[in-house]
Amino acid sequence: MHYRLALLGFGNVGKELAKLLLSKRNELEEQHNITYSVVGIATAKHGVAIDPDGIDLDRALKIPDLTKLSVRQMPLDAFEFLRQCDADVLFENTPVNYDTGQPAVDHLNTALELGMHAITANKGPVVHAYKQLKDLAKKNGVNFYFESTVMDGAPIFSLFREALPGANLLSFRGILNSTTNMILTLMENGESFEQAVTYCQSIGIAETDPSGDIDGWDAAVKVAALATVLMGIPLKPQQVTRKGIRELTAQDIAQAVKSGKRWKLVCSARLEGGAIQAKVGPEQVAPGSPLFTVDGTTSIVQFETDVLGALSVIEADPGPHTTAYGLFADFLNAIKKNEAA
Amino acid sequence: MHYRLALLGFGNVGKELAKLLLSKRNELEEQHNITYSVVGIATAKHGVAIDPDGIDLDRALKIPDLTKLSVRQMPLDAFEFLRQCDADVLFENTPVNYDTGQPAVDHLNTALELGMHAITANKGPVVHAYKQLKDLAKKNGVNFYFESTVMDGAPIFSLFREALPGANLLSFRGILNSTTNMILTLMENGESFEQAVTYCQSIGIAETDPSGDIDGWDAAVKVAALATVLMGIPLKPQQVTRKGIRELTAQDIAQAVKSGKRWKLVCSARLEGGAIQAKVGPEQVAPGSPLFTVDGTTSIVQFETDVLGALSVIEADPGPHTTAYGLFADFLNAIKKNEAA
């Protein structure tokens, strides 16, 4: 089977996806009988390329102006781009918008309407339009997947969807924001909050305005996404009881270390009588907890279900390439179901 | 869709499976449109029941002689039992045989020949006949699944099969034997080796002859199963470099604790240039490792792939009910594929 792919957004993650697609090309063909061509790449600042015969990904990764690879006129907007691409799969990687999920929601909506599988690493659409997009996907016989929105490429949504059938999630608890976990780890090593933030900015894991991480918004969005998808309880980030790490002092950190504990920004949610208690906040974690050894950018989530003891997943060393793998896995899972159906 | 199930073996795990099937009956029907009847239960010591109209599972869980629930003559052997059952799915839960995998291999073989999905919690067939059984399943359009053979019901095989498409496993490292981990934990708390073994026997996690656990055989079989299935390298337990925990003294344990470390029976395997290095042996683990906090009967496996950073799965509080969930999950995954195909 041959698949035509469209990439909306071609930043770090989009580029890593292109590299992964290139490096897995032979393996896909030989082991899975799958071939692909990238028929469209759209960026905000580096132009748009459309080529029904397939864009040379190697060149796309090098060239500063993608328009030079296009055989079509520049589309008016993302929606015209999607219509012109006539792709089977959209990878949506535009920047996240915590408030509304837009314009990613509309991009995904259009792709699904056009009969494409819609895949995104963007958390916005999951917390703002999960049900709508999932229902639309079902109606059109395609899939809406978003594995990379929580813990990068580590399988979380697919774990429940594909590997834990018949299990009901009762609660979860974890460390889901890498930046704050790195800051807390650095502060344990004696760095000041400001030094730690500056370091995180220098290695590209904190934004110029780091408040989305530090005030717990990113973590709250992830809690909302997990609750919405895995517990079936639509939850907005604003409904998550949220406290960031801004008020933690060097003294707090040192005191915890002295008593054999560690401060962690803990994400949690629990179903109780059909209602949900969801929370993000700093907690002192003791050595017996699996959260205790989670350092730096590593993340963890511990699931309590009705069928197993506590089940934890830990992901170390995340980066744009692991986010790209989540998109790639979504692609393979989406077409697997499609081929079977 | 309605499925007829047969249970070969009805010990702790078989009974927990029966309870799980009962407790999930309404959920399966309402949420997945799946109904089932158990048409056969065969035991070595408590008789055999066959009823094409479905055996009353509640009664089967209480009655000492299953034969009283049967509408058929007692079959001559397990093979005649399978033929008479005319089931869609076999759950094979006879005792493990590390040397040959028999008679479980023959049971599974017969079930697959008869067009049944074959599901087992028995490690023997996986290390002795994986390829043969998998090929036979494929030929007959059914599935051979065995999620519960490693880390009970925690998703390991299904994780790679369903949730990590296109990922290649390069190495793994973990704690896969609960009994030895419990013994080491107890010895850290000051108990002698003999006291610890006796305790493990009293709570039912160690056999009367505990050598299978203590000498690392159970761990070696699990390493062989993971390598065979997930790395595609057929490996026999005898090919795993193996050392148990028998030689660890109270002094060794205390010394490690004093230096901030812990002895663990570590299972590992690594692919290098197409060859595999597989090992089971005691190692001192430092606090930075995710293995460090794994206490008692908890188990962990850490995977290194070509697409993600280290990915760990931790399962706490295993028991016959979690093994039963693995069988149940295999059932749902087996019929999902079947229905789609």
What mean pLDDT is predicted for residues A278-303?
A: 95
CA angle in degrees (0–180, nearest 5) for A57-A61-A63? 110
Confidence of residue B113 (pLDDT cuts 50, 70, 90): very high
- Please report, in angstroms and rounded to a whole number, the separation of the first and last CA atoms in chain B: 14
B29 touches chain A (CB under 8 A): no
CB contact under 8 A, B155 and A166: no
What mean pLDDT is predicted for residues A171-184?
A: 97
Statement: residue A19 has pLDDT above 70: yes
CA distance A4 to chain B (A): 18
- CB nearest to B24's CB, from A154, A166, A316: A166
CA distance B236 to chain A (A): 25
H-run or E-run covering A117: strand A117-120
Q: What are the backbone angles phi and psi of residue A145, rounded to the nearest 5°? A: -125, 155
B286 touches chain A (CB under 8 A): no
Contact map slice: B 43-72 vs A, CB within 8 A: none
Percent of chain A at pLDDT > 90 equals: 91
Name B28's Cβ contacts closer than 8 Å, sequence gap at least 6: A166, B34, B35, B36
B21 touches chain A (CB under 8 A): no
Q: In this predicted structure, what is the pLDDT of residue A341? A: 39
CB contact under 8 A, A329 and B166: yes
Three-state DSSP class for B303? strand
CB contact under 8 A, A325 and B307: yes
CA distance B137 to chain A (A): 18
Residues linked to residue A271 through DSSP beta bridges, in sequence order = A276
Bridging pattern class, strands A275-285 and B169-175:
unpaired
Pinpoint the alpha helices (H) of B231-304.
250-258
CB contact under 8 A, B309 and A293: no
Percent of chain A at pLDDT > 70 equals: 99
Statement: residue B341 has pLDDT above 70: no
CB contact under 8 A, A329 and B287: no
CB contact under 8 A, A325 and B337: no
pLDDT tens-digit readout, A23-82: 999 999 999 999 999 999 999 999 999 999 999 999 999 999 999 999 988 888 999 999
Catalytic center residues of A = 222
CB contact under 8 A, B162 and A158: yes
CA B340 to chain centre: 26
B19, B24, B68, B222: which one is catalytic?
B222
Q: Which residues of B touch A333 (CB under 8 A)?
A: 162-163, 165
CA distances from A149 to A11, A257, B263, B290 (A): 16, 32, 37, 24
Percent of chain B at pLDDT > 90 equals: 91
B166 touches chain A (CB under 8 A): yes
Strands (E), chain B: 2-8, 35-42, 48-50, 89-92, 117-120, 144-145, 169-175, 241-242, 262-272, 275-285, 299-305, 311-315
pLDDT tens-digit readout, B31-48: 999 999 999 999 999 999
CB contact under 8 A, A307 and B322: yes
In the predicted model, what is the mean pLDDT of chain A?
95
pLDDT tens-digit readout, A108-142: 999 999 999 999 999 999 999 999 999 999 999 99
Q: In terms of pTM, does the model score above 0.90?
A: yes
pLDDT tens-digit readout, A211-221: 999 999 999 99
pLDDT tens-digit readout, A220-249: 999 999 999 999 999 999 999 999 999 999
Q: Which of B164, B289, B292 to mutate to test the interface with A (most CBs of A within 10 A)?
A: B164
Q: In this predicted structure, what is the pLDDT of residue B76? A: 84
CB B308 within 8 A of CB B300: no
Residue B336 bears catalytic tag:
no
CA angle in degrees (0–180, nearest 5) for A54-A59-A61? 105
A273 touches chain B (CB under 8 A): no
- CB nearest to A293's CB, from B292, B307, B341: B292
CA distance B263 to chain A (A): 16
Q: In this predicted structure, what is the pLDDT of residue B110? A: 98
Confidence of residue A204 (pLDDT cuts 50, 70, 90): confident
CB contact under 8 A, B154 and A328: no
CA distance B77 to chain A (A): 33
Q: Which residues of B touch A338 (CB under 8 A)?
A: none
pLDDT tens-digit readout, B125-135: 999 999 999 99
Q: In this predicted structure, what is the pLDDT of residue A96? A: 86
Token match 């059984």: residue? B133
- CB nearest to A307's CB, from B158, B312, B325: B325
CA angle in degrees (0–180, nearest 5) for A31-A19-B312? 70
Statement: residue A339 has pLDDT above 70: no
CB contact under 8 A, B311 and A315: yes
Confidence of residue B339 (pLDDT cuts 50, 70, 90): low
Residues linked to residue B284 through DSSP beta bridges, in sequence order = B263
With CA atoms as reference, report the closest residue to A123 among A228, A207, A278: A228
- CB nearest to B314's CB, from A312, A315, A333: A312
Q: Which residues of B touch A317 (CB under 8 A)?
A: 309-310
Q: Identify the weakest region by mean pLDDT among A141-150, A201-210, A310-319, B99-108.
A: A201-210
Q: Which residues of A touch B316 (CB under 8 A)?
A: 309-312
CA B38 to chain centre: 21
Residue A26's CB: how many other CB atoms inside 10 A?
9
Q: Which of B311, B327, B338 to mutate to test the interface with A (most CBs of A within 10 A)?
A: B311
CB B279 within 8 A of CB A272: no
Statement: residue B251 has pLDDT above 60: yes
Helix axes A78-85, A104-113, angle to 10 degrees: 30
Token match 């007692």: residue? B74
Q: What is the ipTM of this complex?
A: 0.95
CB contact under 8 A, A153 and B310: no
A171 touches chain B (CB under 8 A): no
Statement: residue A169 has pLDDT above 50: yes
A309 touches chain B (CB under 8 A): yes
- Please report, in angstroms and rounded to a whole number, the separation of the first and last CA atoms in chain A: 14
CB contact under 8 A, B165 and A28: no
Statement: residue B220 has pLDDT above 80: yes
In the predicted model, what is the mean pLDDT of chain B?
95
B159 touches chain A (CB under 8 A): yes
Most confident of A329-338, B70-79, B163-172: B163-172
CA nearest B32 in A: which residue?
A: A166
CB contact under 8 A, A154 and B288: no
Token match 């709250």: residue? A220
